[in-house]
Each structure stands twice: as structure tokens, then as C-alpha cells.
Structure 1
């Protein structure tokens, strides 16, 4: 690690920042379809991190049921094999039976859980603020293995097909500035790539052979998925505060210079830069074929034309929007710090519905089992369906 942010600036950004390259193989058509409607095992709904759902949003939404955690939560949930996984600010991982709505098990780490868990092959993979990253049995929460980093693990791991076709790999970023490729079976490191500063977001899969992510060094890093060797570095104007999203060979990200950036993974500089006003973008974007949707600390959700980078619309709320949106065929759904879950029309930003949940919503919503699921700032997990389901 060649440098760190000065202490004052590092504290201010603590919540979010708050060898020759191998020959490039052009990415194939986007291999990850929009998120399935049954499970949500990987953050943002799939390895490209698009936050995109192939289907309609719930109509006339109502709370179907709730579950009360021991503590507040800012983490995106995960759901697979009938088990809902949610972390909280005191370091507990909760496994909830989605059918019985009862707690199956609870696992204690030593510090805050900020990122979503990942569920794959009967295991739960989750990082903690105590510098540990764990693989737990989905059935009972017993530990398979754990590793230690040099700093906290504030984001979720991604699961990608192994480039050699033999199984899967976990790709994991840490606040120590290291991107790690891990064997999910035993936790053994396959490769690592070290950047010059903190990393907050999850790496996105590009095509079949590249991964990309942004860091507090203000760089979008593009790596070869098989070796971890750098393919490209795209310099932006400020610290990248969350995960990127990808569509085809383009990645999209917000940053601390109040910008949203689009960049081709083999380009020298961004394709376009959308300039906001006086507040940074502290959420991950959602992307569909037409637009990029992203929350901002100006208390609004911004919709940007995906091709031109021009503003399409801005939807104002009563609080900061740090909850990353998800986009359906007919709605963009996101939470706000004003305690409300919103759905707006992707075409023009008109409000479709709002649901007042009464808790600050910093966590990102997910969609699984035909339900929107989001954890609140007072520790309630809300499961929301059409007309209450």
C-alpha cells in the first residue's frame, strides 16, 4: 500500500471512503440476465451488479410480515434456499426461515456488518468490521472457514464462474485496498491485487473474463478475472464510494466529486460524466437499457440517459438517498433516510407509490419470492408484497 488518505479526510469519508496487461478479449454479450424473481443470493441481484429485475414491481404495496433484529441494520439482505440473511450494526448475522418467519440461527462477529451476505452452494459468505471474512453453513451457521484482512470488509463478495470452467470463485474487496480471489470451498487465496487506497464496493463481472471496481484512489480498476493482473485503470475526479454497475463493457459509478461516471473498460478516460450539484453520490447505481439510476446525498434519486450522460429526471425525497435502487420493468424502487420506500416511473420519475416504514432506510432493497425486502435503521426487516401478499 503506497499511501493512505490524510487522517482528517479519511475520517470525513469513513462511511464510504466515509506488469503489462494481458491481451484483451472483447466481452461477450452480458452473461447475467436480470435478477431472478425467486432468490437474491448475490448483492445487487447478480454478478454484473445491475440491480435490475426482469418483471413488474409489486402493486398496491403493503407489509406482508416483519422480523425484528437485535440491532439497527444498514446492510442489504440476501435470500436463497428459503433462508433470509441480514447483518446488523453490532456484528450479528441473522438467518431467518422465510416460510416460518422464525430465526434459524445467529452468528456473532466482532464488529459492524456493512455489506450484504452472499449465499452460494449451501454457504453464507460475509465480512465484518473486525477485519474478518467468514464462510458459514447455511443450515446452522457453523463456521466452514474464515480469513483475516488488514482492515474491515465493508462490501459483499461476488461469485463468478471460474475462468477455467472448474467451479466458482469469490471476488472480495477490503478496506485494506486489496481485491482478493478466493476458493469458496476452503478460503484459500487464488490471487490478490493491491490498490493504493481503501475500497468500499463489490467487484462487478464484465463479460466472462474481466472484473471492475472503483476505490478511494479515484480509479476504476479493471482486472483479468483469471489472474488478477491489471488490464486497465481509468482515473476519475474523486473517491468512488460504492459498488459499480456494469452493462456490456461499460461500468457506471458515483463518486465524491458529486459525479456519476460511465466508462468503457478498455478506454483511457470516462465516456461521460454527469455532474451533480453540491452533494456526493453514496449509493450504487441501477442500470437498465435506457437509463442509470442512482441515489444522492442531495435527498434525491437521479435518472441519467445511459448513452449520453444527460439528466432525464430527478425525484426529491425528504432525506438522503444512500439506499441503492433496484429497477423493475415498470418502476424504480429505493429507500430514503426520510423513512419511506418509494417507487417511481422509470420513464419520467413520477411517483407510483410510497410506503412509510417509520425507520431510516440506508440499506438497499432486494426482490425475491415476489417480495421487496429491506432492513430499517431501527432493526426491523420489512417484507413487502402486493396488497400484503
Structure 2
């Protein structure tokens, strides 16, 4: 039963990823239909993430009252309805109105499932969980590009994805009784996982104000810029390829899907190599690979190198987010992890909400050629924050060993 339950959790994360990448992939066509300026996509993205932030901040109370299973079911249902509404929208205003419930549907399920897996399962399950998010994020633009290439409307793409979401809603409804049973059966594994976490050298004592724990604010900064990179490339990658490299919109949407494919494949691989390498090593390696991709994107090379760059950025991004999440109890203590996890997710959503629109606003007034250097800057800031946390953890380990 535990295996079946894990599959259901993974499928729920597909539903999170499906809509995340669709707006950016379809925006070059959507904005022409509505006569909207290019930076409007950034505003719509902000509304989606604002809804996600609101629901994630309320997730503690909601999850306690309804339970993770019911919250997951309701969240996917809300997402499915919002996507169905997108397919019938007659103006940008309606898209903006529906963007809020789309975001609200994501926040509680994201926080709830991340915390559930972090506290009940080992590191490879966290990577594979986010691998399934990548599958959804990859399928979104693939479906959209297929419909656009066949001469159909972007609305058909949103309708098809909403139907996939409704199928998941049905599955989640019938799986609701499994959540209580799975919670009992996984208690032993959870105890083993938390025992490993609490014994880590980075564990910190309980604190009234967790923000005072050394490294917490730096971790939040890392989450901020990580989601800034991921969301910015996802939202504006297609526009960069169309406006700077002269690639057709359908092809550009397909290439962006390969960026998410890089994230997906990377997280699948990461799940296996967590058996041999620490979270810290995987985070560092991911940042280096992402930097290589951003540098390649910045070079004045033929368009095909942009595809390679997107894949490299995706591969490098793959281990960063799940490994940072799973490292939270080891860095700051299991007794503090739930609150710190919430703060980290809030900053992650903030990065996804504000950094992509900021770039869109700047690009609309200059050029999309600014995308690569901005990505390089974000990755440098992540590297500096992450390495500073590592130094703090090493110092703490030395103090404990004395």
C-alpha cells in the first residue's frame, strides 16, 4: 500500500507542474489574441504566485483542520476549474481573475506534500517527488506547442490540461481513505528518517524566533533566487527565443519544454545519486551546471546552443530545490523545520512572483537580451548564500565536536 500511496503523491505533483509552464509557452500567441503588451505575462504570473503565497501561509491551519489528503483533493479540483476557465476566457481581465484561484490551488498542496515527504521519507523520494513536478511542467508546453503547431488555439491546450487535472481529481477522491492508513504505516519510516536528520551535525537547538538561527535568512535568499531563475526562464524563455533568436513560437514552446525536461531528468537522476552524495554536494554541483548553462546562453552563438543552454540550466536546477528542502531539518533542527519550511516556501513563491515580472518590465523597455546576464547574477547570489551556509554548518560541526 505504501508504494501505491507514493504513486498517488507523485501524480499529485504532476498536477502542480502542468499549469506552471503553460503561460510562458503560449504567451507569444495569447498576447496577440488579446492585444496585450508583452509585460502583462509578468503581471499574470504575479497574481498566480500571490494566490500561492496566500494559500501557503494559511496551509498550516488548513492542513491541521482538513488533513493533507483532503487539501490535496480540493487544491487539484480548484486548479482544474481555473484552467477550464482559462480555455473560455474572452479577455486578459478574465485570465487575471482566474489566475488567483489557480495560485490558491497550488500553495497548500505544495507545502503540505513537501513537508509530508521531508518528514516521512528519505532524500531520494524528495527528488523523485519534484521529478514528477517536472514531468507536469514538461508536458504543459509540449501539449501547448502541439496544438499551436497544428493550427489550433491555445485555448484547446488549456482545455486538454484541465481534463487531465479533472482525471487526477477523480483519482484523488477515491484515494482519500488511504491517507490515514498510509500515515500509520509510514510512522516507522518517518521515525527513522527524523532520527537521521536530528543526528546531523547541522542540527540547531529549538528557538522561539527561528529567523535568529544562523543561516536561516541566507537559506531564504537562496530559495528566493532559485525560484527567480526557474520561473523567469520558464516564463520568458519562449519570448527570448522568438524575439532574440528568431525562432517560431511553436518551436520555442517545444524548446522550453526541454528546459523542464532537463529539470525532470535531473531530478530522476538525483534521486539515485543521493545514495552516494550528500545534499550539500548536490546543491553545489547543480549551481555550477546552472551557471554553465547561463554562460552558454549569454554567448552570441547559433540558436541551437540556446536549446543546449536551457537543458543545462534545467539539469543544474534539478537537485537544488528538493535538496535544500530535505536539508532543512539537518541544517536547523527538526523541531524548527516546519516553521522554517514555511518561510522558505514563502520566499520561494515571492521570487517566482516578483523577479519574472521585473525582468519582463525591463525587457519591454530594452530587449530580451538581458535574460542571460540576469540569470547569471541570480545564480551568483545563490552560490554566495549557499556557500556561506555551508561555512556556518562546518563551524557549528566543529563547535559540537569540541
- Shorter-chain TM-score: what band? under 0.3
The structure richer in helix per residue is 2
The structure richer in strand per residue is 1
Instruction: Find the structure with the greater CA-based Rg.
Output: 2
